[in-house]
Structure 1
């Protein structure tokens, strides 16, 4: 397991937290404040609030996703394209929230007005960068920054979890309202994807840090005693692979529709079309 990263008493703010979590992961680069224009060859930043207020931007993203699928597979089924954009968008607030909670026990603003992202310029058009425009965050009483003007202190870990869920649900609900009229998905499908994004985010945070079990524990904590709009508690559970090695797997709450591509593979082994609800 990597050694704990040092926390400077002179640098206790959200920028320092973001710097530390960026050292723990390479999936999406996270930055603070208003993002600068992309370098040549990079895609432009998009504010989440603007995208949700003008869903034509989501349609444009689906066009980019369709072009990528055509290049990769020679076809781009509507449901596969729509499912890709659905899950990639929800990754933005979910990944940011789970990283900062797992590593820092901090919860940033997840308001669409405070988050921006840009998608990868090459390959799969998923988010490659996330920017946070608000330096405020919630934390626990023993956080080194608990006395700062940017910190909102809650009295227990359970309260911090509740706040994370509430902030994420508020963002996801705005996405569901904007996206659902443009695709052939019901609310259950979209909230299943929102549940997946949190569960996978915590699991990934643990794996990236060399302690998969800690990520599983935090996923269970985050989705414990959850009811609507989340579609389940964490579905992570121990499993033995084909070589007899014990590890972790999960049942997805939403389908990626990759089985619609003419590869003849059928649904994933963890798809809700294959595995009944736990």
Structure 2
């Protein structure tokens, strides 16, 4: 569970506790800034081993695609949760986020926000608190989230790109997928059609247009009684034994 902050004026901490996000970096956790200084070889090796155990094979492109998506999940998930539930946007700088990689499946299964500051709306009860930056409306707040996420993703693309089997366009497509999936998922986790609809609305708010280097506006659309989206990037899960292509895969869907 989230640990209380020791900062006397930490008005962001209650939001983080409600969302089960931590405020510290326990032993074994990793700051994103530290991760970006790695070669990523250790994480890639663990991921390949897990895929091999689960599926019998670990195709290199699948390993690479999973690592890209799982890392980008970190800033996307933090930003989406705070926007959806609290209408706040914290710092998403690599120095200000940390994560724990699971012991079994090597996925970032716990996240932490380390900085005090956040952006919020004029109606936020903490809008006058130290560290709060007030923006005029929800569109402006969405723009802050988009800019902060894109800045973090840019540092990942710069750090990981030379090690990756993918080009910049593919990496930015994965970044776009991670952000929209996180926004949609924050709503879906509510378990009701209304909650999911609110997540869809957040995705439309943040990705109301294409904002390069992100590769697309929101692609969420209603089909056959449910929401779906067209992926921008391929996860290459179809290369695993007996695994089908995903719904919305860019390899098979018309652009």
Using the size of structure 2 for normalisation, the TM-score is: 0.92
Query: C-alpha displacement at 1:227, in angstroms?
Result: 2.5
Query: C-alpha displacement at 1:203, in angstroms?
Result: 0.9
Correspondence 1:68 to 2:66: no
User: Of the candidates 63, 82, 85, which is equivalent to residue 100 of structure 1?
Assistant: 82
- 1:112-149 deviation line (CA, Å, top 9, x unaligned): 00111011111x21111111110111001110000001
Matching residue of 2:235? 256
Correspondence 1:175 to 2:156: yes
Query: C-alpha displacement at 1:266, in angstroms?
Result: 4.3
Matching residue of 1:110? 92
- 1:125-180 deviation line (CA, Å, top 9, x unaligned): 11111111101110011100000012111112111111111111110000001111
Cα distance in 1 between the residues matched to 2:43 and 2:33: 15
User: Of the candidates 11, 14, 24, which is equivalent to residue 12 of structure 2?
Assistant: 14
- 1:67-104 deviation line (CA, Å, top 9, x unaligned): 00110111111000011110000000000000100111
Point out where structure 2 has 5 or more consecutive residues left out of the alignment: 1-8
SS of aligned partner of 1:19:
helix
Cα distance in 1 between the residues matched to 2:22 and 2:135: 25
The answer on whether the counterparts of 1:12 and 1:145 sit within 8 Å (CA) in structure 2 is no
Backbone CA RMSD of aligned residues? 1.3
Query: C-alpha displacement at 1:12, in angstroms?
Result: 8.3
User: Pairwise mapping of residues 118-157 of structure 1 onto structure 2 (< 5 A)?
Assistant: 118-122=100-104, 124-157=105-138
Runs of 4+ in 1 over 4 A off after TM superposition: none
Matching residue of 1:36? 26
